[in-house]
Amino acid sequence: MKHERLWQGCGASVAAVALLIASVLLTMAVQGGPPGREQSGSESSGREPAASSAAPFASESSPGSGGNPVNTVPKDEMRAVWVPYMSLAMNAQADQSKAAFQKKFDAIVANAKSKGMNALIVHVRPFGDALYPSDYFPWSHILTGVQGVNPGYDPLAYMVQATHKAGLKIHAWINPLRIRTNNTPTALAQSNPYNKWQLQKLSGRTVTLDNGIYYNPAYPEVLKLITDGVAEIVKKYDVDGVQFDDYFYPTESSIFDTGSYGAYLAEAKKNGSAMDLFEWRRANINKMVSMVYREIKSIKPGVVFGISPQGNVQNDLRMGADVVSWASTAGYVDYICPQLYVNFEHPILPFDDGAKQWRQMVTAKGVRLYFGLAVYKAGSDADEGTWKKSNDILQKQVELGRQIGGGGFMFYAYDQLDAEHSREEVQNVIKLLN
């Protein structure tokens, strides 16, 4: 879930976060700019090349400015809701037919539109799988209960058609590195890249931890797989955007990539310098992000690419998400949507402080800033009951986003739009949208 890792364990003040950002920018300057541009060299003898430090490709077709005049509703305001795989799941239903899926999704579209939403961020690859026929990934288990089993229809084709018919936009939501978490899915298809690489004894490309299985972005094969998978969607479907979720490196522990980082160090030290583990990881993710951005723009320049990182900048940087570069340098993303799942009374970083911090970070031409809002917390006991103190927290967050120049918002998640605890909050937001 998008809300599993948020603000726990973060005792840093805004000033501390600012100092960390400054240190990252200084490191980038010393290294000659943000890493990210794909290199022509490829891995040989089981060792990956040093991470690139060249500036990424910047598209001239990126959307407009990163902000809006104060106190105005932004042009083409993003009013989106995330539709997670749980909301699309058919595996627990007796009727798993095409008609049943279409009926389920039609209801989602109609309800979201009635709430004033103009875009759906729909899960199409939650676990290294696909909700569409893919040349790279197996069918998702959420459709039939078993990964790799063809449901007999193309869910994504219908979701694009139904969303556009209703006048809404659709972004394909992808978890790029996650293959499995705990026991979900219970079994991986033989066609899964994980199993193929295991048979080929390509060690290191995937990593098994106590909490799941993940791709290791240090390897060119992994970056190519992720990029090809995105390209396939953009080529075959009329999606309006592609979005990566906040999961990148799943742990800070060096156990995840001891071998690949060691190979990098051996090569880098020959040149007299080397990045530390966290810098190197950010360079790997930056390379992946810039490759995907570049590929999308080469296929359909009008399709936007965005990332929804955690709202906590410190956490982002330590999990390989270089939000500083993405927000300040063209050629990585068209939009960034931090998950600010806090209210105005949060003891670590109140919403207004967090929103203003992100607004100051987003300076790259063509990069828009949206805010991820916690509709799932509205009116609940979360955060020591502070979400129950008023019924207009989300409304005030949308208003503040407009005032400081944000481009819109995204609600997490669809199933909470009609929850009893959030109903009043959602209705107050709807009043702003009419």
| Phi, psi at 82, each rounded to 5° | -75, 135
In the predicted model, what is the mean pLDDT of residues 270-282?
Answer: 94
Would you place residue 71 in the very low, low, confident or very high pLDDT band (cuts 50, 70, 90)? low
The answer to whether 400 and 68 have CB atoms below 8 angstroms apart is: no
Would you place residue 2 in the very low, low, confident or very high pLDDT band (cuts 50, 70, 90)? low
In the predicted model, what is the mean pLDDT of residues 127-138?
Answer: 99
In the predicted model, what is the mean pLDDT of residues 228-232?
Answer: 99
- The answer, yes or no, to whether residue 46 has pLDDT greater than 60, is no
| Phi, psi at 282, each rounded to 5° | -60, -35
In the predicted model, what is the mean pLDDT of residues 227-233?
Answer: 99
Q: What is the pairing mode between strands 368-369 and 206-209?
A: unpaired
Helices within 300-346 (DSSP H only): 313-318, 323-328
- The answer, yes or no, to whether residue 45 has pLDDT greater than 90, is no
In the predicted model, what is the mean pLDDT of residues 391-396?
Answer: 98
State the chain's mean pLDDT as an integer.
88
Instruction: For residue 162, give both structure tokens.
Output: 């139904």
The SS3 call for residue 306 is strand
Q: Is 191 exposed, middle or buried (0-12, 13-18, 19+ CB in 10 A)?
A: middle
- The answer, yes or no, to whether residue 270 has pLDDT greater than 80, is yes
- For the chain, how big is the Rg over CA atoms in Å? 21
The SS3 call for residue 40 is coil
- The answer, yes or no, to whether residue 47 has pLDDT greater than 80, is no
Strands (E) in 84-128, as ranges, are 119-125
Domains of the chain: residue spans and CATH: 14-32+74-433 (3.20.20.80)
Of all residues in the chain, what percent carry a pLDDT higher than 70? 84
